[in-house]
Amino acid sequence: MVCRSSAPLRVSTTITKSPLVLSKGSSMKLYPLMNCFNSKRFYTVIENGLAAPIIDFNKMKEIVQKNDPNYIIVDVRENDEFEAGHIPHAINLPCKSSPGALGLDPEEFKLTFGFDKPSKDKTLVFYCLAGVRAAISEELAGTFDYEHRLNYSGSFKDWINHNGEIEYPQPAKNEEK
């Protein structure tokens, strides 16, 4: 969850020039959309300055080809989208159904997703279908103290348009027969 306060979040429709703090003592703030127009991202919901560098197809292709264990490719599309094909070596952490996944403790994370929680010394490379969920997830990861993050803003659509290799999940052992 973005807001770690037990108090309910109240959203006002009043347009203001100052940020709204989500919870007392939190460094996370919401900015009115009109204040974000000078930004490259019009859908930023987290305080400016926390966003990761944006990468293009060539950089993503290089990361995929190197298969460096210090980079973790994170597909934030829903599970059915991931199973229909994804960028090679990606893990699936659905943004919509599991927004606070990186905030789980390691044991709960492994029970939920079936693989180890990415360590904070790795570089997480986020993508989705068109870049919106990736930007949100990447910024949210920053609130969980993941400092090494990249955003493939072109995401899966860009990958397909450049004829990038597509990987499919391995069938479960009981499905092979």
pTM: 0.71
Closest CA to 134 of 44, 69, 39: 44
In which residue are the tokens 């860009």 written? 158
Q: What is the pLDDT of residue 50?
A: 63
C-alpha pair distances (Å), 159 with each of 125, 144, 166, 167: 14, 28, 9, 12
Q: For the structural domain made of 54-161, what CATH number should be given?
A: 3.40.250.10
The total number of residues shown for the chain amounts to 177
Given the residues 3, 36, 95, 128, the one annotated as active site? 128
Render pLDDT for 141-176 as a digit per residue (tens, 0 to 9): 999 999 999 999 999 999 999 999 999 988 766 655
Using the predicted structure, report yes or no on whether residue 108 has a pLDDT greater than 70: yes
Which amino acid does the sequence have at 45? V
Domain boundaries, the chain: 1-48, 54-161
Closest CA to 51 of 64, 42, 61, 59: 42
Give the span between the Cα atoms of 162 and 23, in whole angstroms: 43
Q: What is the pLDDT of residue 77?
A: 98
95 catalytically annotated:
no
- Given its phi and psi angles, is residue 29 left (phi above 0), alpha (psi -120 to 50 degrees) or beta? beta
Give the span between the Cα atoms of 58 and 129, in whole angstroms: 17
In terms of pLDDT, which residue wins out, 102 or 13?
A: 102
The pLDDT-based confidence of 33 (bands split at 50, 70, 90) is very low
Question: How does DSSP classify residue 14?
Answer: S
Render pLDDT for 39-82 as a digit per residue (tens, 0 to 9): 344 444 455 556 799 999 999 999 999 999 999 999 999 999 99
Q: What is the pLDDT of residue 49?
A: 58
Closest CA to 153 of 66, 44, 65, 47: 44
Rounded to the nearest integer, the mean pLDDT of the chain is 80
Q: Is there a contact between 96 and 75 (Cβ–Cβ < 8 Å)?
A: no
